[in-house]
Amino acid sequence: MRGLRILALATLLFLPPAGAQPPVTLTAARDLRADGAQARAQRLPIVLFFETADCAYCRQVEEQFLPELLRDNARRPMFILRTIDIHSSRPVTAFDGTGTDMRAFAARQQVRVVPHLRFVGPDGETLAPDLVGLSTPDFYAGYLEGAIRTARDKLRTAP
């Protein structure tokens, strides 16, 4: 009987609080050319989230600003999000089809500071100003949503 009480208590300790949302899953970039084809077909911008595993500000963006946006995006697609760890040697196919790794891709994109969000079209062309760093957390969600909207509008009005 004591074992059941301990099990019940342990279960309660590890349950998320009532009303808590499940964590979001971010997708690492693997084949940006294929993502570009999907973006072209759906007329969606691609958001490249350049980050590192040890970046506290990146985790803040991931935990505070992306979850609600990604849940809304799952219901009504507005963008494609891919993460790129600027220190990783994980392979990635660039928009032009060339094979590279995340570190080299980030260097070619001239990304040195994280968090860094870039809003691009199907061929990797910039559609809205980048969000670099996290200097204004109070306004960050608005800046992020505005950049996605700007990028979407550019794609939707393109011939």
Query: Do residues 38 and 80 make contact, with C-beta atoms less than 8 angstroms apart?
Result: yes
Hey, which CATH number is domain 26-135, 3.40.30.10, 3.40.50.720, 3.30.110.40, 3.40.1160.10? 3.40.30.10
Instruction: Give the tens place of pLDDT for each residue, 13-49.
Output: 444 454 555 556 799 999 999 999 999 999 999 999 9
Residues in a beta bridge with 51: 85
E strand spans, the chain? 46-51, 80-85, 91-93, 99-101, 116-120, 126-132
- Could you give the percent of the chain with pLDDT greater than 70? 84
Q: What's the pTM?
A: 0.83
Instruction: Give the tens place of pLDDT for each residue, 104-153.
Output: 999 999 999 999 999 999 999 999 999 999 878 788 899 999 999 999 99
